[in-house]
Amino acid sequence: MNPFKDYRDSYIINQRVKNKNIVAGDYSYYSGYYHGKEFDECVWYMDGTETVCPEKLIIGKFCSIATGVVFMMAGNQGHRHDWIAQYPLDFLDDDFDGYKNNPPKAFLSKGDTIIGNDVWIGAEAMIMPGIHIGDGAMIAARAVVTKNVEPYSIVAGVPAKPIKKRFSNQEIEILLKAKWWDWPVEKIKKNLAMLRSGNVQGLIPTIR
């Protein structure tokens, strides 16, 4: 089921994604209306092979990803700012096969990029390699995220910086314990009015 089939070409990511290194949770959707691209095309420098990109993009449940968002993958893409030559020079590697002093590879993995649950990512934001974005975070349009984002934080700018937290620290603790995104759909329906309010304290009876 795609609850967004009639809204600006939005669709559930895990119903359309083809790349095995992209993992998306239930109900997370992409709305690519203004860019006309499949979600796979928003994930750059990933072809699903370990030789080019060993990392994965892991997206939680109930995430909202706007048009034109880019997830930059493949670590440093083989460019080392701390070396004399930042050009990767990989085309010369074959000449050293079998030698003990084989030159080091330029590629450095940044690890998996992990997006939490109920995360909103605004239009044309760019998420750099290996970033972890916490549950409930909001990423402003055209932000360039170069550092991890705390749960329920709002970040904006280039590079993205924290603007504020959506709730108090005590409320965020309750939200992270409640994990509403893991509830069965029937339980979500039963508590829909509360989830569409700022009544975080009302979640306490739901925590087991």
The band of 2, judged by pLDDT with boundaries at 50, 70 and 90, is low
Domain that holds residue 66: 10-75+110-166
pLDDT tens digits, one per residue of 182-203: 999 999 999 999 999 999 999 9
pLDDT tens digits, one per residue of 116-134: 999 999 999 999 999 999 9
My answer on whether 117 and 186 are in the same domain is no
CB environment 100-136: b (16+ within 10 A), e (fewer): eeeeeebbeeeebbbbbbbbbbbebbbbbbbbbbbbb
My answer on whether 208 and 142 are in the same domain is no
What's the confidence (pLDDT) of residue 106? 74
My answer on whether 148 and 177 are in the same domain is no
What's the confidence (pLDDT) of residue 121? 98
My answer on whether 43 and 136 are in the same domain is yes
pLDDT tens digits, one per residue of 64-99: 999 999 999 877 777 888 888 888 787 777 766 666
> Is 102 part of a structural domain of the chain?
no
My answer on whether 122 and 63 are in the same domain is yes
pLDDT tens digits, one per residue of 145-178: 999 999 999 999 999 999 999 999 999 999 999 9
What's the confidence (pLDDT) of residue 7? 59
| 79 is known as an active-site residue | yes
